[in-house]
Structures are given as structure tokens and as C-alpha cells.
Amino acid sequence: MSNLFPVKLEGALVRRAGTTLVGPLNLELQANGVTVVLGPNGAGKTSLLRMMHGIARLGGGRIDWACSPEEARVSQAFVFQQPIMMRRSVLDNIAYPLRLSGLSRVKAKVVAAQAAADVGLGDMLDRPAPFLSGGERQKLALARALVTKPKLLFLDEPCASLDGRATREIEEILNRAAGHGTRLIMSTHDMGQARRLATEVLFLLNGNVYEHSSAEAFFGGASTAKAQAFLNGDIVE
């Protein structure tokens, strides 16, 4: 069990240009499982992930991890919908966070090569990262995030622009990571993906949590009218 959890949000919110994007939220997440954040466009999904990870400044309230803020910060990683590729090879991209952590160049490249192989990029180590396909870029982003063995991984729509085959491959990587003990918190618009991966669901609307329940309970019959309408494919606002 990760010593990051439980994590508690008390009145936590994010503002931009005077507008509240998400919150104030009172929420508690436990150590186990895969949390999938659902909701329509503009619901605040990305803002919630960024706020918890610390790349969106709190406009109020607090986030309390079960460890020091410093330990929480170095125990996390974040994969964006559009991953940033450094103008380096696949191998050097994956090795970069290891080098930042103080690992020698030689050791970092050995570990990075194995991480690349783990996500199916083992034959592309010398390929320039900016020339990868969309699915290959997302695999690289996952390898780079997971290579430091984070206790918690945030993912913002990791398969939003990928085809079915690439999505399946990404989900396999995520399932392996979860099986090895990495806590996943991710947003998605893909209801099939949410059903396949989630153990619990957060349903957001207008920056507020309308439902927080097990995936089985949520997909078996949401308890709020807004969430049920969303599941039915209706427009909710």
C-alpha cells in the first residue's frame, strides 16, 4: 500500500482569471485501484488532475497527502493528452528523468532500454522521438513516466486521439502498471475504456463531484439524475 494515501481534499479549488474551474471539493481517495474521472467537456477533469498533481495552483482549500508534500511530489508522474517529446532519441527521452534523479548515464540508458522494451519500443531506441506516431509517442510518454517507478500516475485522456489498436496497447500497459502497484487516476471520454479500467469513478460536472462510487455501482445505476443522463448519452450541463 502506498504511503501517499489516503489523500484528502478540503475545499480545494482552482481559479483562472477570476473564474472557478473546479471546486471547492471535499474528497478522499484511498490507496488502491484505478480512479477514472468522467464528465462532459468543461466539467473540470483536467483541472482536477492538475490541481492534485500540483501543476495548477490551489485557489483555496488544501490537499493533504499521507506523507510530506515533498515526498508526495517526487512519488508522482503525469502523462498528458498530447505528450511533450524532447528533440532526442527514444532512449534519451526515457533516460532523462533517471539522469535528473542522479543515475549515471550508463545505468540510466540500461534501465531506459528495458522500459522501452516493456512498452513495445525496444526496436526504436535510436529513433528521434518527434518522428514517432501518435500511439508510439504515448507509449514513450508512459515509459518515461513509469521508468522512475512512481507510486501514483495521473493520466489526462491518454488515448483521446488514438485508434483502437493503439488504445488496446496503451490499456495493456496501464493494466500492467496497476498490477505492479502503481495507483492510477485518469480522465477519459471513452466510456468503454472507463468500464474496462476503472475500479472507482468520479463524475464531475461544472467543476463539482456529483458522484464518487465504485465502478460497479456507477455503471450499474448512477445515483444522480445528471450522472444517469450522462451514461445515457444525453447532453448534461
Residue 1's pLDDT band (boundaries 50, 70, 90)? very low
Overall pTM > 0.75: yes
Q: Looking at residue 83, what is its pLDDT?
A: 87
- Could you tell me if residue 39 is inside a domain? yes
Here the cell at position 43 is: 466539467
Average pLDDT of the chain to the nearest whole number? 95
* 10 three-class SS: strand
- The number of beta carbons lying within 10 Å of the beta carbon of residue 34 is 23
- Could you tell me if residue 163 is inside a domain? yes
Q: Looking at residue 134, what is its pLDDT?
A: 92
Of 235, 204, 236, the C-alpha closest to 218 is 204
Q: Is the pLDDT of residue 144 over 80?
A: yes
- Could you tell me if residue 75 is inside a domain? yes
Of 109, 71, 75, 60, the C-alpha closest to 207 is 60
Q: Is the pLDDT of residue 53 over 90?
A: yes
CATH of the domain at 68: 3.40.50.300
Q: Dump pLDDT digits (tens) for 148-204.
A: 999 999 999 999 989 999 999 999 999 999 999 999 999 999 999 999 999 999 999
Number of domains comprising the chain: 1
- Could you tell me if residue 164 is inside a domain? yes
Q: Looking at residue 84, what is its pLDDT?
A: 86
Q: Which domain holds residue 167?
A: 7-82+150-231
- Could you tell me if residue 113 is inside a domain? no
Here the cell at position 80 is: 498528458
Q: Is the pLDDT of residue 27 over 90?
A: yes
- Could you tell me if residue 88 is inside a domain? no
Question: Do the Cβ atoms of 207 and 47 come closer than 8 Å?
Answer: yes
Q: Dump pLDDT digits (tens) for 54-75.
A: 999 999 999 999 999 999 999 9
- Could you tell me if residue 89 is inside a domain? no
- Could you tell me if residue 104 is inside a domain? no
